A and B are shown apart, each in its own frame.
Chain A
Amino acid sequence: MDEQDMPQRLVDAVIADFPDHAPGTRPAHTIGLGVTGYFRGSPIARDYCIAEHFQGHNVPVTVRFSNSSGSPVQHDGWSDARGMATRFHLQDDQATDLIAMTLREFFSPTPEDFLEFSKEARPRPVKPDPWWRKILDMLQLKPPNPDPYPGQNESGAPGSLDYANHHRSAQLAALDAAMLGAPVSYARATYNAVHTFIITAPDKTKRYVRFFWQPVAGVEVTDPTAPPVDDYLQGELRERLRDWPAEFLLLMAVGEGGDPLLDPTQAWPLHRSRVVMGMLKLIEIPADQETFCEKMSYNPGRMTRGLEMSDDPVLAARAQAYEVSRKMRGGSPCPFSKG
Chain B
Amino acid sequence: MSGNSSWMNSLVNRMATSKFFNYLAGHVLVPYWAWRTPVYAQHGGPRATIPPGDNMQRMMNLILPLKDKTAVGRAKAALAIASNLDEIYAGLDNVGTVHFARFVIIENNMCMISSYDGDFSNYIRDFVAQLGTVFDSVVALIEGGDDMIPTKENIDAFINWVHDRDVYQIPDTATDLLRYGTIGHSAAKADGPDDLRLMPRALILQLHKNPNSLLGSGYRGYPGLSVAQIRHKMGLGW
Contacts and interface: CB of A to CB of B under 8 A. Distances in A.
A172 B177 CA distance: 12
B230 to A, nearest CB: 13
Interface in B38-63: 49-54, 56-57
Given A137-B197, A140-B201, 18 more contacts: A131-B9, A131-B12, A134-B9, A135-B12, A138-B12, A141-B201, A143-B197, A144-B12, A165-B193, A171-B175, A171-B178, A175-B174, A258-B49, A269-B217, A270-B223, A271-B57, A272-B223, A273-B224
B112 interface: no
A161 B198 CA distance: 12
A269 B9 contact: no
Closest 10 CB pairs of A and B: A130-B3, A273-B224, A141-B201, A256-B51, A271-B223, A131-B8, A131-B12, A165-B193, A258-B51, A171-B175
B44 to A, nearest CB: 18
Contacts of A135: 12, 15
Interface residues of A, number: 39
Contacts of B15: 135, 138
Contacts, number: 116
Contact of A270 (B4, B172, B199): B172
Interface residues of B, number: 46
A18 B49 CA distance: 42
Contact of B4 (A130, A171, A175, A274): A130
Contacts of A134: 9, 12-13, 16
A106 to B, nearest CB: 15
B175 A267 contact: no
Contact of B53 (A127, A141, A171, A272): A272
B200 A138 contact: no
Interface string A142-166: 1111010000000000000100111
Interface string B13-42: 101100001000100011001000000000
A254 interface: yes
A257 B201 contact: no
11 contacts: A127-B4, A130-B4, A130-B9, A134-B13, A142-B200, A144-B12, A164-B196, A171-B196, A259-B51, A271-B57, A273-B53
A145 B25 CA distance: 18
A277 B54 CA distance: 22
Contacts of B8: 131
Contacts of B196: 161, 164-165, 171, 174-175
Contact of A168 (B4, B25, B33, B175): B175
A131 B10 CA distance: 9
Interface of B: 1, 3-5, 8-9, 11-13, 15-16, 21, 25, 29-30, 33, 49-54, 56-57, 172-175, 178, 193-201, 204, 216-217, 219-220, 223-225
A287 interface: no
Interface string A49-91: 0000000000000000000000000000000000000000000
B206 to A, nearest CB: 12
Given A256-B53, A271-B57, A141 B12 contact: no
